[in-house]
Structures are given as C-alpha cells and as structure tokens.
A and B are shown apart, each in its own frame.
Chain A
Amino acid sequence: MPEPQVVKAGDVTQRVGVEVISKRGVDVPKLIKILIANAAAEFASTYYYYTILRMHLAGHEDYKEICEDARLEDRAHWELIVPRIYELGGELPNDLKAFHDGAGCVAAKLPNPPTVVNILTLLLESERCAIRSWSEVCDMTFGKDPRTYDMASRILNEEVEHEAWFIELLAHERDGKIVPSGHFRRGDPGHAPYSKNAGFYNP
C-alpha cells in the first residue's frame, strides 16, 4: 500500500478522515469495495427480494411481520452504508445491474416452490451471509477506523438478531422444535434499535 500523503491546508481533493485511517493500517480502497458489495447485499440481495418473500408468507402473519422487520432494517443498513462510502472517497456504480451483480451475498429470490419452509431457509441463509460480511468489516476496522467499525458493529448486531429469529421460526416450522431466539417483538416495524440508535428492549 502506498504511503499515505499528508493532507495540505485548504486541499479539497484529499481527506484527513481517510488519511488517518490509512496511517493506522486500513486498506481504504479495499474497504470501499467491501462496503459497496455489502451495500448491494443489503439493498439488492435482501431489501428488494425480502419485499417479495414477505408477500408470499400469506397465512403466516407473524412470520410476515418478522420478515418485515428484517426487510426494513436491511434498508436502514443501506442508508447507513452509503454516506460512509462517499466519505471514504468511493461512490456507487452508476448502473443498477452492475451494483446488483457486485453483491457479496446471493440474491434472495423467491424459492421454487415458495413454501414457508423454503422462504424461512432462504431468509436464514441470507442473514448468515450478512453476518460473515459484516464481521469481515469489523475485523478490518477494529482499533483503526472507529467510524466504520461503529457502523459495521451496529449492523452486525441486527444481523445476528435476524439470524436468531429465523432459526427460531425455521426450527418450529420445519422440525417442530423450539429454539428460542431470546428476543421479543420490535417496537414499530423496522425498529432497527442499533442502526437507528433507537432504544432496544430493556424494560
């Protein structure tokens, strides 16, 4: 990695916010690529497709609501990531297909057949990919880039909760087993306690 340059006074082509994390060892170009791929996963692989999955959970209103929380929280993640990409000097691809194709996780397309078990399985595996992706960002930024780390950590908190929800639902629906998530309901749909800095359940 080239030695980072010291930003000169009045220079608007460079950012101290990038300079300092580069000096601490963050590979900023690589981080930007990962954030764009993760943004694509949150927006294109999950938020968009979860909209369709949710529509097909008819007769399972409880599952539909939980899918809705995950869907809206993934959208909240997208909204968090985009400003950070630009702050770091990156940008979104000016082509939606290119953006979609760059996602690090598979698109959660409606399974065939669209049974509740197949949909819950897909939701679960999507959340697992997100956990892996955000853990990578946490590892890259821990102790070096507190702003990206804080964001990734908040997102990761919610992805871990999403996985727990879908484990609970799938275990019940497919295996007839009780595997508690340990969680209770969100406040409003898409409450996003971590990524929207809202209070989380702690009565």
Chain B
Amino acid sequence: MHSEPNAFTVILLLPDGEQSIQVSRDSHIWDAAFAAGIVLPALCHQGRCLTCAGRLENGGDVDQSDSVSYFPEDREAGFVLLCTGKPRSELRIRTHQQTEMRKFRRQKKLPSPYS
C-alpha cells in the first residue's frame, strides 16, 4: 500500500549558506524554518505581499492553497510563497526572492504589492 510521506526535507538556500529542515505536510515552510531558528522575511502571512517569496531550484511540489494570491504563472516560474506554502515533495528553495518575484509579477501584469 502506498502512503504519502508526513514530512519532507527542505533545503533553504539562504544568503549566508544552506540549511536543511524537516517540514511536515501540514506545516507552512516559513513556520517550520522559524521553529528551527531561521527567521525568513515575511509581512502579511496571507500569501499576498510577496515578502516571503522563494524560488524552487530543482522543481518540486508546493501546496499554495493557503495563499490568497498565487497564480499559475508563479508556479511555472518556480516562485513559491513560504509563509503559506506546504511541501508536497523534497525541495531546494532559494530564499529572499521578493525583489525578483515582484519584478516577475510586474512583467506578467499581475498584482505586485510594494512595487
């Protein structure tokens, strides 16, 4: 019988190096990082403002259903919102991508708060 894993390894590519954390499938990645002592950027915690943006390095699956503002274009480009994203696979995520994600949203003419 096949069962879904309850937790995934998430490697965070931070400005000052890599850190690996375990994130349960019910947890937001930002919260798991915080619990591990890693304080990532964040503001609204609604999946709206893009402050917590990250970008997947090698693909992977993130459940963004808790994000109030997340678009198929974001997913195609590999952008994820860590405050409201839950892992569905092993992940490598480059953090601190708010500037890049806002630029991408502007190019796509999508909402880009704080731009």
Contact = CB atoms under 8 A, between A and B. Distances in A.
Interface string A98-119: 0001111110000000000000
A105 B112 contact: no
Interface in A22-36: 33-34
Contacts, number: 45
Interface in A128-147: 128-129, 132-133, 136
Interface in B68-110: 68-69
Contact of B112 (A102, A106, A128): A102
Interface of B is mostly: loop
Contact of B45 (A101, A103, A132): A132
Interface of A is mostly: helix
Interface in A71-127: 101-106, 125
Nearest to A33: B114
B3 interface: no
A18 B114 CA distance: 20
Contact of B111 (A34, A102, A125): A102
Given A132-B43, A133-B43, A136-B43, A104 B111 contact: no
Contacts of A136: 43
A105 B44 contact: yes
Given A106-B44, A106-B68, A37 B111 contact: no
Contacts of A37: 49, 113-114
Given A132-B44, A133-B44, A104 B49 contact: yes
A104 B45 contact: no
Interface in A14-73: 33-34, 37
14 contacts: A33-B115, A37-B113, A103-B113, A104-B44, A104-B48, A104-B49, A104-B113, A105-B46, A128-B45, A132-B43, A132-B44, A132-B45, A133-B43, A133-B49
User: Which 10 A-B pairs have CB atoms at the shortest separation, nearest pair first?
Assistant: A101-B111, A106-B68, A104-B49, A104-B113, A129-B44, A106-B48, A37-B114, A106-B46, A37-B113, A33-B114
